[in-house]
């Protein structure tokens, strides 16, 4: 396993694949979740990602589980001991709506107020059965909240030893610049990572987000690296891959249009020539980008987890990378050149 720094402005080293736990609880029973995490550590995967809202399936009629269940499952796994917590670089998130035992609280309805960040961090620590979170990520941007208020909340948590690093998710390029410039002005550490949707099929972030992350030394953690299963080799089956639960959502499991299907066919043909599975190639392509830290794999089963591991060792040559660009063209480079001239 070749570990890599979380970002160029952060010293902690993580595995080149990140274990996403969104399925734990709602789609993956606790015993199998435990087995996946045990196997991850055995294989050298030390980077785990979750969120306070994970644990309930929102894409089917059963709605199993509840918000917070994924963190609870990880906490019970940590509680078994054996150095589990010490060996994991743990990432979770704040922003999403969380129910409270005391009833309705308008400040818990989504957002990044200082009160919200501190209260939800305490709740996540309790569910995770740990004293600290390695990477505490803002799940979405909250432009209505002053940036300095957010930094003050993070600074409080860092001084208390409850949070080590600050990360973002689903931020625009100018948000990443704004947060890091604010950190510079305040004399505080800025963002070390950005978790964003990124795949061969969806390369929109190459226009603004990738250049911003490269400039500020922010590592990119791609979510949905298989584009909801489209890049997994069985694109029209909603339950075929471990690319997170989004693949079964009505908003992503629609029939592919003719252009996309043609690209899928060409892509799968190229992967067959390479003797590699489409999922392996898709993950390896992301790892080829030096700004990418670790794609998130979101397995429902142990088999799906193990099927992702070959991507770590696969190196794509220049000819293959060119062919992939031809099949899955990006936004045409970085802004403003990709639209101005």
DSSP annotation of 250 reads: T
- In angstroms, the Cα distances linking 25 to 32, 34, 70, 283 are 10, 11, 6, 25
- In angstroms, the Cα distances linking 120 to 25, 55, 198, 245, 312 are 20, 16, 27, 24, 34
The angle that helices 114-128 and 69-78 make with each other, rounded to 10 degrees, is 50
Q: Which residue shows structure tokens 């390695």?
A: 134
Stated length of the chain: 341
DSSP, collapsed to helix, strand or coil, labels residue 316 as coil
DSSP, collapsed to helix, strand or coil, labels residue 187 as coil
Is position 54 annotated as part of the catalytic site? Answer: yes
Which of 54, 198, 216, 267 is labelled catalytic? 54
Distance CA 8, CA 192 (A): 8
Cβ atoms of 336 and 261 closer than 8 Å = no
- How far, rounded to the nearest angstrom, does the alpha carbon of residue 229 sit from its chain's CA centroid? 16
What are 7's two structure tokens? 């970002």
Interstrand relation of 10-14 and 4-7 (parallel, antiparallel or unpaired): antiparallel
Q: Which among 135, 145, 146, 217 is positioned nearest to 168, based on CA atoms?
A: 135
In b/e form, how buried is each residue of 58-81, taking b as 16+ CB within 10 angstroms?
Answer: ebeeeeebebbbbbbbbbebbeee
- In angstroms, the Cα distances linking 198 to 127, 142, 277, 296, 306 are 29, 21, 19, 10, 21
Catalytic residues: 54
């Amino acid at each position: 396993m070749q570990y890599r720094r979380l970002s160029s402005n952060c010293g902690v080293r993580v595995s080149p694949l990140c274990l996403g736990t969104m399925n734990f609880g709602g789609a993956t029973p606790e015993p199998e979740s435990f087995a996946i995490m045990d196997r991850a550590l055995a294989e050298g995967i030390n980077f785990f990602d979750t969120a306070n809202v994970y644990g309930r399936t929102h894409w089917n009629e059963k709605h199993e589980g509840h918000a917070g269940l994924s963190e609870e499952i990880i906490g019970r796994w940590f509680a078994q001991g054996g150095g589990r917590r010490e060996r994991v670089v743990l990432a979770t998130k704040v922003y999403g709506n969380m129910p409270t035992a005391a009833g309705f609280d308008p400040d818990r309805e989504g957002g990044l107020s200082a009160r919200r960040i501190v209260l939800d961090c305490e709740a996540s620590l309790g569910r995770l059965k740990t004293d600290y979170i390695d990477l505490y990520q803002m799940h979405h941007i909250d432009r209505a909240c002053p940036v300095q208020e957010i930094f003050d909340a993070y600074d409080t948590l860092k001084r208390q030893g409850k949070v080590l690093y600050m990360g973002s998710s689903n931020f625009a390029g100018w948000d990443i610049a704004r947060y890091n410039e604010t950190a510079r002005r305040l004399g505080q550490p800025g963002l070390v990572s950005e978790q964003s949707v990124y795949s061969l099929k969806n390369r929109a972030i190459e226009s603004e987000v990738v250049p911003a992350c490269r400039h500020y030394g922010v590592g990119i953690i791609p979510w949905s690296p298989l584009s909801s299963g489209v890049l997994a080799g069985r694109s029209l089956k909603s339950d075929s891959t471990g690319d997170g639960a989004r693949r079964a959502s009505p908003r992503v499991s629609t029939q592919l249009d003719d252009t996309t299907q043609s690209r899928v066919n060409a892509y799968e043909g190229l992967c067959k020539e390479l003797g590699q599975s489409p999922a392996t190639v898709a993950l390896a392509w992301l790892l080829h980008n030096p700004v990418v830290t670790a794609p998130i794999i979101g397995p429902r089963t142990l088999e799906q987890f193990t099927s992702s591991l070959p991507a770590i060792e696969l190196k794509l040559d220049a000819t293959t990378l060119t062919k992939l660009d031809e099949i899955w063209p990006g936004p045409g480079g970085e802004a403003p050149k990709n639209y101005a001239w």
